[in-house]
Chain A
Amino acid sequence: MKKPSGLKMAVIHMGLSLMCMVTLYPVLWVVKMALSPSDSMSLTANPFPDAVTFDHFRDVLLGSDAQGRWVFGRQVLASFIVSGATTAVGLTLAVTAAYALSRFKFPGKEGGMQALLVTQMFPATLMLVPIYGILQKLRLLDSLTGLVLVYATTALPFCIWMLKGYFDTLPRELEEAAVMDGASPFQVFIKVVLPLARPALAVTALFSFMTAWNEFVLAATLINDPTRFTLPVALQRYVGEYKVEWGKFAACALIVSAPVMALFFALQKHLVGGLTAGGVKG
Chain B
Amino acid sequence: MSRVLALVLLALAGSAHAEEPQPAPLKLWHAYRGGEEAALLQATTLFTEKTGVRVDMLALPYDAYAAKLTNAIPHGAGPDVFIFNHERLRNFQGQNLLAPTTGTLVRDDYFANTVQALEVDGQVYGYPMSLKSLALYVNTKLVPRPPTTTAELLALLPTLSKPEEGRFGLAYESGDFYFHAPFLFGFDGPLFDATGRASFDTPGMARSLAFVKKLQDERMMPTEVSGALVKTLFNDGRAAMTISGPWFAGEIAPSVQYRVVALPTVSETGTPMKPFLGVEAAFVSSRTEQAARAHELARFLSLGEASRVRTTVGRQIPADVAAYQFQEVKDDTLISSFREAARDATPMPNTLEMARVWEPMKLTLRAVLQGGTRPEDAGALADRRYRALHRERPPEANPMPWLTLAGVMVLGGGTAWVLRRPAQSQTFRQRYPDVSRAVTYVAPAAAGLLVLVFIPFAVGLTLSLFHHDAGQYTFVGLANFVDILASRGYSITEPLSFYFTLAVTLLWAVVNVVLHVSIGLGLALILKDPLLKMRGVYRVLLIIPWAVPNYITALMWKGMFHRQFGAINGLLVALDLEPVSWFTRFSTAFAANVATNTWLGFPFMMVVALGALQSIPQELYEAAEVDGASKWTQFRRITLPLLKPAMLPAVILGSVWTFNMFNIIYLVSGGEPGGATDILVSEAFRWAFQRNEQYGFAAAYSVLIFVVLMGWSVFTRRLMKPEEAS
Contacts and interface: CB of A to CB of B under 8 A. Distances in A.
B269 interface: no
B544 A237 contact: no
Contact of B548 (A65, A239, A246, A257): A257
A107 B432 CA distance: 8
B656 A120 contact: yes
B662 interface: yes
B710 interface: yes
Contacts of A277: 646, 649-650
Contacts of A44: 567, 570
A89 B57 CA distance: 32
Given A30-B552, A119-B454, A216-B64, A271 B607 contact: yes
A176 B698 CA distance: 51
Q: Which of A47, A153, A268 has the most CB of B within 10 A?
A: A153
Contacts of B599: 22-23, 26
A221 interface: yes
Interface string B146-162: 00000000000000000
B556 A29 contact: yes
A185 B437 contact: yes
Interface string A93-134: 110110111011111000010111111111101111111111
B61 A220 contact: yes
A97 B442 contact: yes
Nearest to A276: B611
B460 A246 contact: no
Contact of B544 (A27, A38, A122): A27
Q: Which among B61, B545, B548, B656 has the highest number of chain A CB atoms within 10 Å?
A: B61
Contacts of B441: 96-97, 99-100, 104
Nearest to B461: A122
B454 A274 contact: no
A29 B351 CA distance: 41
Interface string A1-42: 101100001001101100110111111011000000011111
Contacts of B710: 118, 121
B548 A261 contact: yes
A226 interface: yes
A268 B543 contact: yes
A279 B641 CA distance: 12
A16 B526 contact: yes
B405 interface: no
Contact of B228 (A41, A256, A261): A41
Q: Interface centre among A65, A141, A185, A240, by most B CB within 10 Å?
A: A240
A122 B442 CA distance: 23
A279 B649 contact: yes
Nearest to B132: A242
B227 A243 contact: yes
A16 B58 CA distance: 48
Contact of B460 (A23, A127, A226, A241): A127
Interface in B54-100: 57-64, 67-68, 71-72, 75, 77, 85
Interface string B686-726: 00110000010011001001100110010000000001000
Interface in A245-282: 245-246, 253, 256-257, 260-261, 264-265, 268, 271-281
A180 interface: no
A123 to B, nearest CB: 5
Contact of B232 (A40, A115, A165): A40
Among A161, A185, A265, the most chain B Cβ lie within 10 Å of the Cβ of A265
B41 interface: yes
Interface residues of B, number: 127
Interface in A212-254: 214, 216-217, 220-221, 224-226, 232-233, 236-246, 253
A280 B547 contact: no
Interface in A141-191: 141-142, 149-150, 152-154, 156-158, 160-161, 165, 185
A161 B647 CA distance: 14
Nearest to A105: B432
Interface stretch (B110-118, B299-307, B481-489, B533-541): B533-541
Interface in B670-700: 681, 684-685, 688-689, 695, 698-699
Describe B's contact surface by its main secondary structure.
helix
Interface in B131-167: 166
Interface stretch (B320-328, B444-452, B507-515): B444-452
A51 interface: no
A100 B228 contact: no
A141 B713 contact: no
Contact of A281 (B58, B77, B645): B645
B33 A257 contact: no
Main secondary structure of the interface of A (DSSP, over half): helix
A122 B457 contact: yes
Contacts of B248: 242-243
Contacts of B653: 120, 158, 161
Contacts of A241: 31, 62, 85
A178 B431 CA distance: 24
Given A30-B556, A264-B546, A117 B532 contact: no
B607 A24 contact: no
A185 B710 CA distance: 36
Contacts of B647: 279
B477 to A, nearest CB: 19
Nearest to B456: A130
Nearest to A1: B531
Interface stretch (B212-220, B337-345, B386-394, B557-565): B557-565
Contacts of A225: 58
B229 interface: yes
Contacts of B531: 1, 3-4
Contact of B61 (A101, A119, A216, A257): A216
A136 B62 CA distance: 23
Contact of A243 (B251, B449, B649): B251
Contacts of B523: 16, 19
A149 B447 CA distance: 11
Interface string B601-640: 0001001101110110000000000000000000000000
Given A104-B438, A122-B706, A217 B62 contact: no
A165 B544 contact: no
B445 A156 contact: yes
B662 A123 contact: yes
B14 interface: no
B253 interface: yes
Nearest to A142: B77
Given A123-B662, A130-B456, A216-B61, A280 B615 contact: yes
Contacts of A220: 60-61, 63-64, 68
Contacts of B688: 125-126
Among A93, A150, A261, the one with the most B-chain Cβ atoms within 10 Å of its Cβ is A93
A107 B11 CA distance: 69
B229 to A, nearest CB: 7
A123 B57 contact: no
Given A125-B685, A272-B610, 15 more contacts: A27-B545, A29-B567, A40-B236, A45-B570, A100-B442, A105-B432, A106-B439, A123-B685, A125-B662, A126-B460, A214-B549, A232-B549, A246-B228, A272-B614, A273-B614
26 contacts: A9-B533, A13-B533, A19-B523, A19-B542, A23-B542, A23-B545, A26-B599, A41-B565, A43-B166, A65-B59, A66-B41, A93-B448, A100-B442, A105-B432, A125-B662, A125-B689, A126-B702, A127-B456, A130-B456, A131-B456, A156-B448, A221-B67, A232-B549, A236-B64, A268-B540, A280-B646
- 7 shortest interchain CB distances as A-B pairs: A276-B611, A279-B645, A236-B61, A45-B570, A220-B64, A100-B441, A97-B445
Interface of A: 1, 3-4, 9, 12-13, 15-16, 19-20, 22-27, 29-30, 38-45, 47, 65-67, 92-94, 96-97, 99-101, 103-107, 112, 114-123, 125-134, 136, 138, 141-142, 149-150, 152-154, 156-158, 160-161, 165, 185, 214, 216-217, 220-221, 224-226, 232-233, 236-246, 253, 256-257, 260-261, 264-265, 268, 271-281
